[in-house]
A and B are shown apart, each in its own frame.
Chain A
Amino acid sequence: GESVGLHLPTLSVQEGDNSIINCAYSNSASDYFIWYKQESGKGPQFIIDIRSNMDKRQGQRVTVLLNKTVKHLSLQIAATQPGDSAVYFCAGGGGNEKLTFGTGTRLTIIP
């Protein structure tokens, strides 16, 4: 099966700076990954996804990078804002397998 984890439980970033949140996975057969944002007291919200046939995908202020060689993906948030403070976690899986979720990194934006 798949195991998905995150490198750091917490991350503090100055407002306006860019932030990078990392995630590692174990199953080389995993071909789909999602990043979720979870604000305090709320359910996880979809941010961006990426398939294994891509190395990079960009959204609004967010970029996901996938390195299949080392089984690592990252979420980059540009020009962070106070509203970006939340827990971010990745999820991954492949084929008919259900998604496996990581534990999350708590991002704090310092004013």
Chain B
Amino acid sequence: NAGVTQTPKFQVLKTGQSMTLQCAQDMNHEYMSWYRQDPGMGLRLIHYSVGAGITDQGEVPNGYNVSRSTTEDFPLRLLSAAPSQTSVYFCASSNSLSASGNTIYFGEGSWLTVV
């Protein structure tokens, strides 16, 4: 059971470039989300999805797009990379979006540097 799989693990981008972080889960979870993790801050929600074809903005959505064409996949796109988007990105999936009784499973992370 692979759980949540993210690629790439590491990426360096130039300012203005675009790229897509891939995420896939094999637990048949309806809910998937993307977080960024920055020094001294807790995980912050970028975008999330409650099912195929449905996405919504989280706490810090600007500069990112997502789509959910299948239950398994939830890619995160950086439209025009900026140095402020240098961060570690985590994809996650869960049975529910609400806090109560919900265990969130995280991928291994994608380290992104924008120069």
Contacts and interface: CB of A to CB of B under 8 A. Distances in A.
A24 B75 CA distance: 33
B107 A98 contact: no
Nearest to B106: A43
Interface residues of B, number: 24
A98 B105 contact: no
Nearest to A90: B42
A38 B37 CA distance: 12
Interface stretch (A14-22, A28-36, A67-75): A28-36
Contact of B109 (A42, A94, A95): A42
Q: Is the interface of B mostly helix, strand, loop or mixed?
A: loop
Given A89-B42, A103-B42, A104-B42, A43 B99 contact: no
Size range of the chain A interface in the assembly: 20 to 34
Contacts of A99: 99, 102, 104
Contacts, number: 67
Nearest to A30: B99
A9 to B, nearest CB: 8
Contacts of A96: 97-98
Contacts of B109: 41-43
Contacts of A44: 43, 90, 106
Interface of B: 4, 35, 40-45, 48, 58, 90, 97-109
Sorted nearest first, the 10 A-B pairs with minimum C-beta distance are A93-B99, A101-B42, A43-B106, A101-B43, A32-B100, A96-B98, A99-B99, A44-B106, A43-B108, A32-B99
